Amino acid sequence: MKDQVNQALIEKITKAVMEELAKHQIIGSSEQKTHVPVGISARHLHLQKEHVEPLFGKGYELTKFKDISQPGQYACNEKVTIKGPRGTIENVRVLGPLRKQTQVEIAASDARKLGVSPPVRSSGNLAGSAPITIIGPKGAISLTEGCIIADRHIHMHPNDVAAYGVRDGQKVSVLVDGEKGGVIGQVTIRVSERYALDMHLDTDDANAFGLTGNEWLPIIS
């Protein structure tokens, strides 16, 4: 009897460990995956080549501070001030590499402080977005468009799509447990060979659900 109890306990513990390893993708799993890692994206901007010199000086090149979650992307040492009709926000970090069009990504609370009305958009969808002024150590530029609130999204490599049972562009919901838990809806699946698995939320969403960026959350629909 004792041996049977011990064997049952071993099997239970083994199953729990294997499920946890599969959830964190340390090992493979024959079952559909559900959990994704959370990344919190603070206000930042991407610059096009033509805007680097006006902000930082003639011949200036951005310098790398550290890599971030997506392959080939990194935080730069450079920071700027962004300005709207009602206020400014200092120390906004530049991310690299350079983009085709300068893009400023802020949270809704930032927008209220600045006095701007950016739309919720996917990265790169800037047509008709909000105007904003960027101030660097050597000068300033005023954009007629380029400021957005980034939509909630999950980066996935094509290899992840079948494992999670989703498709590019699909809107899903993600469950959060805890004292400030709830359901995060309207999360866009983005698929590219350039991506690594990561869910991106802005600071407003993260604070609303009590998230720190160290969680793995399940996709529920």
The residue-averaged pLDDT of 126-138 equals 98
d(CA 91, CA 93): 6
d(CA 93, CA 116): 19
* Range with lowest mean pLDDT among 17-26, 130-139, 188-197: 17-26
Q: Rounded to two decimals, what is the model's pTM?
A: 0.84
pLDDT at 9: 58
Determine what percent of the chain is predicted with pLDDT higher than 70.
Answer: 86
Q: Which two tokens stand for residue 60?
A: 């200036």
Q: Which two tokens stand for residue 157?
A: 């490599």
d(CA 62, CA 60): 7
pLDDT at 32: 86
pLDDT in tens, 60-92: 999 999 999 999 999 999 999 999 999 999 999
d(CA 29, CA 41): 29
What is the band of 15 on the pLDDT scale with cuts at 50, 70, 90?
very low
pLDDT at 7: 54
d(CA 169, CA 162): 14
pLDDT above 50 for 28: no
pLDDT at 124: 95
pLDDT at 8: 55
pLDDT in tens, 133-148: 999 999 999 999 999 9
Q: What is the mean pLDDT of the chain?
A: 91
pLDDT in tens, 148-180: 999 999 999 999 999 999 999 999 999 999 999
pLDDT at 68: 96
What is the band of 13 on the pLDDT scale with cuts at 50, 70, 90?
low
d(CA 105, CA 116): 12
For residue 37, say if its preceding peptide bond is cis, omega within 30 degrees of 0.
no
What is the band of 18 on the pLDDT scale with cuts at 50, 70, 90?
very low
